[in-house]
Amino acid sequence: MKKIALIVASLGVAAFSHAVTWNILTFPSAPQGVNASAYTTFGMTVVPLTLGVPANGSNAITLLTPNGGVLGNNQFGSIFWEYEASNFAGTPTKVMYSVAGQVLGDGQVIWQEQVFGVDGVGNEFFLNSASGVLNSGNVVNNGFGLNGSINLPQHNYSKLRVKKLFNLVTGSTPGTNYASVGRINQAIVPEPTSMAALGLGLAAVLRRRNRR
């Protein structure tokens, strides 16, 4: 029983020691970026993220742009985020995303995202990208219209750099035309090699116990 408790405790220590480190490199600029904020979580605690200050948290991050919209005919705006994530439990294999926005009339949100690996001296190397368009035809689930994941090729980078650009566009269709992005949820999924090894260790202890 003491061995089992020790393995369980080790699992908890491993999860704690492998908290992901986030660093916001670029916040959106005005006017769409006014009052922008970002946070992660650590257990039950919300951890605010500020520009250029690394902070530890879970493998998920939330980016908020409460003023991230354009209203009227023939309007244009943009929202650009850039951040780094490091200190994973295993090599990252995918980046998951969920984008919430509101569009009216002919408004559109045109999204592009790039994921880079970063080496030990800060050089970036392209891994993969994704893009999409948020419009009145695909805004569902309280505004979440772009959901999915970006699969990463096999690599050995322990730090990722993510660049996200949203272009907000309206046309000249009569009526109310509006395009906005208010909330972006993102999670980086590591290859669970470390936790899997610990899990196998716990299973071995249980097997030995059952044979006695």
Task: List, for residues 82-118, the tens digit of each pLDDT value.
Answer: 999 999 888 999 999 999 888 999 999 999 999 999 9
Structural Rg of the chain based on CA atoms: 21
Q: Output the domain CATH number for residue 178.
A: 2.60.120
Residue 13 lies in a domain: no
pLDDT given at position 138: 74
DSSP for residue 28:
P
Residue 161 lies in a domain: yes
Return the higher-pLDDT residue of 2 and 170.
170
Whose structure tokens read 């993220």?
A: 49
pTM exceeds 0.85: no
Q: pLDDT band for position 122 (50/70/90)?
A: very high
Alpha carbon of 93 to those of 5, 100, 150, 151, 186: distances in Å? 31, 24, 9, 6, 14
pLDDT given at position 193: 47
Residue 153 lies in a domain: yes
Residue 184 lies in a domain: yes
pLDDT given at position 143: 63
Average pLDDT over residues 129-141: 80
pLDDT given at position 140: 60
Residue 116 lies in a domain: yes
Q: Picking from 7-16, 47-56, 74-83, 167-176, which range would have the lowest pLDDT averaged per residue?
A: 7-16
pLDDT given at position 134: 87
pLDDT given at position 202: 37
Residue 59 lies in a domain: yes
- Domain boundaries, position 120: 22-191
Model confidence over 34-44: pLDDT tens digits?
Answer: 999 999 999 88
Return the higher-pLDDT residue of 101 and 53.
53
Residue 208 lies in a domain: no
Per cent of the chain over pLDDT 90 is 68
Q: Picking from 12-21, 52-61, 152-161, 165-174, which range would have the lowest pLDDT averaged per residue?
A: 12-21
Residue 139 to residue 162: CA distance in whole angstroms: 24
Residue 88 to residue 15: CA distance in whole angstroms: 10
Structural domain total, the chain:
1
Cβ partners under 8 Å of residue 136, min gap 6: 103, 104, 105, 106, 107
Q: How many CB atoms lie within 10 A of CB 181?
A: 29
pLDDT exceeds 80 at position 204: no
Residue 84 lies in a domain: yes
